[in-house]
Every structure is written in structure tokens, then in C-alpha cells.
Amino acid sequence: MKPIEILGREPTADGEELVLTRRDGVVTLFLSGMELMSSRAPGSERALAERGLAGVAGRRRPRVLIGGLGLGFTLRAALDRLPEHAEVVVAELSAMVVAAVRGELAELAGRPLEDPRTTIFAGDVAEALVPPARYDAILLDTDDGPRAHTHRANRQLYDAAGLRRLRGALSPGGQLAIWSAAPDAEFVRRLGAAGFLARAETVRARPGGRAERHTLFLALVPARGRVG
């Protein structure tokens, strides 16, 4: 087996360390030794875009916010489904991750940062929600789920006030999709209490595989005139 190649290291604001590695062609992102994501199993990251954009990709000029660039798989899947005049804002805190997806790892997800529809927001995803920001869809892959936070500041996204803020940043009929490593029935209820029409869906980490499964929380903002 080939040795592990360190592609980059970067400290986080929480005092931890992001490490990007490659071994036998597999790229993995670690946070203080814990695997966050891998190019070996991008199925659920792609599904996040597929499910999260199902109701808005047909709009003429949809505006989409993606929280977390990762290895670029969610962004690539979103671009493949969006029209020519769409706008995709990607909020990413890690300059190392952006540089890698723009440079050495550009081919991994089909060079998504070279697409003119893509804009990088170098900051916390919560900052991209500040009014008058308005989106047709918001896709979040910033944590292992609403209870496991990669960055402590992300807690504010999942409490009652944070969910109301997310809902307020979405247009009528807009869609919120959140990636999670595990199901959470209480979180689905919390989404409903915030005014979303919410459900959870289980997806495979590898298409056609039998191994790891992940959860997507899908939450729709009712269109005008509907009660939800």
C-alpha cells in the first residue's frame, strides 16, 4: 500500500486542525484525526444537491447557497442540474480546501470552481444569510449533522432561531437540505416547528453499495397561500 501523502494542513478557529490527504488515489479530509469526507464515497454529497434542488432547478435564475465546499462533489452535482443563468454561492471557511479544489484536486469533481455560475464566499455560512440575502435553495454540508458540529459556531444554524433564519433567507417554495451522518427524528420536528414542510431521507454513501448510509433532512418553505 502506498504511503499517505499530505496535501495540506490548516488550523481552525476552534483550535483544531484540518488535514487533507491522498492515498492510492483516495482523497480524505480529516479534522483532528476524525474523517470528515472522502472521495471514496461521494454518493450522499451528490444526493444532497439532487434532492435539495428537485423543486427549484427549473426556475429561470435560481440562486443557491451551499454551506461547505468539501471536495466539490455537492457543488458539481448542483451545477449539473442548474440552468445557465443560475447563481451558486459556496460558503467555505477553509482557504486550504478552496485552494485544493481550485488547483491540485480540480479534476476530482470536474473543476466546479471554474464554472462562471460559482462564487466563493470566504466565511461562515451564517454570514451569508444576513439580509437582504435571498436564496431559492440552501444546501448544508458543514457538519456531521445537527448535533455534531465541526465548528462550534455552527450550533446557531440548528437551534430554533437558526432555523427561522434559514427559512427567512429562502424564497417561497424554496428548499433547505441538510446532510447528516445519522437520523434525528427530533430535528425533523424542530424543522416543522420553524415553519418548514420537513422530512428525512436515507441515502447511500456509495451508489449501489450496501455499506454506509447517511441522512438528508429536506425542508420546504410553503409557497404563498399555503399553510405549513
Q: What is the C-alpha separation between 196 and 53, in angstroms, rounded?
A: 16
Q: Which three cell numbers stand for residue 78?
A: 448542483
pLDDT computed for residue 156 by the predictor: 84
Q: Give the class (CATH, top level) of 41-220.
A: alpha beta
Sketch the domain layout of the chain as residue ranges. Answer: 41-220
pLDDT tens per residue, range 216-226: 999 999 986 44
* Calpha distance 226→174 (Å, rounded): 13
- Supply the pTM of this predicted model: 0.92
Average confidence (pLDDT) over 19-32: 95
Question: According to DSSP H, which parts of the chain are helical?
Answer: 43-52, 73-81, 95-102, 155-158, 160-168, 185-193
Three-state DSSP at 204 gives strand
Task: Tell me which residue has cell 451558486.
Answer: 88
The CA dihedral of 188, 192, 197, 198, to the nearest 10 degrees, is 0
Would you say residue 132 has pLDDT above 70? yes
Cis peptide before 146 (omega within 30 of 0): no
